[in-house]
Amino acid sequence: MTAVTDLVEVVDRLLAPEGGCVWNRAQTHASLARYAVEESYELVDAIDSGDDDELREELGDVLYQVVLHAGLAAAEGRFDLEDVAAGARDKMVRRHPHVFGEERADTEAEVVRVWRAAKAAEKAARTSVVDGVPRAMPPLERAVKLLERLEERGDAATVVAAVVRAPEQAGAGAAGSAGASASGDVVDERWGAGMLAEVAAAREAGIDVVASLRAAVTRLETEARVGE
């Protein structure tokens, strides 16, 4: 027995029709999605903190989410944790032919090239360079991911310029109800396009925009606590 095996048995017990947990049995992959996101953000916080105890705990919470989702699927006869692990194992082997095969990659750049080639072969059915970028990602992170894909293709600047021009050409701007600006509910396409252009320019300058904004927001929180 290992702790991972024990955890699987704990989840099986929670999901058991008799003697299990009524809340856990009522969950679905969709209802649990928000918790997977929350736990992932808590893991990032733990990484930023540099505290090993926090890191271990949050890794465990993320692992629990994986085991719970697999347990739900297993209860329906779809797949189980072993299938999940096997899929991850096989994918990592395929995408590291320089380790498990005959490919050669001696630098990080070469490893990235090999990884991308292996991934492209797996995802040959995709019809667009931006296919597979999750729509549920926060806007800033999603913008960065889309820009990365466009940078690989070589036309990021052209596409961003088209986005910036679009609201002007359409006469679009702020859209919202009267008085909404006070509560921050107005949607302004021009502002959004301008922010996207700023993100693209920052990336071109070598700035990690996500980490930079996170640092600024952390400082905002610190300053907000002053005098409390």
List, in order of start, the domains of the chain with CATH numbers: 3-92 (1.10.287.1080), 127-225 (no CATH)
User: Which of 86-90, 97-101, 184-188, 215-219 has the lowest average pLDDT?
Assistant: 184-188
Average pLDDT score over residue span 135-164: 93
- Give me the percent of the chain exceeding a pLDDT of 70: 94
Cα 66 to Cα 19, 51, 138, 161: the distances in Å are 22, 23, 21, 40
The residue to which tokens 């052209």 are assigned: 158
* Among the ranges given (21-30, 53-62, 107-116, 182-191), the one the predictor scored with the smallest mean pLDDT: 182-191
Length of the chain: 228
Give me the mean pLDDT over the 94-103 stretch: 93
Strand partners, 59: none
Structure tokens at 6: 């024990």
Q: Which residues contact 80 (CB under 8 A, 6 or more apart)?
A: 70, 71, 73, 74
Spatial separation of the C-alpha atoms in residues 105 and 85, rounded to whole Å: 26
Single pTM value for the model: 0.77
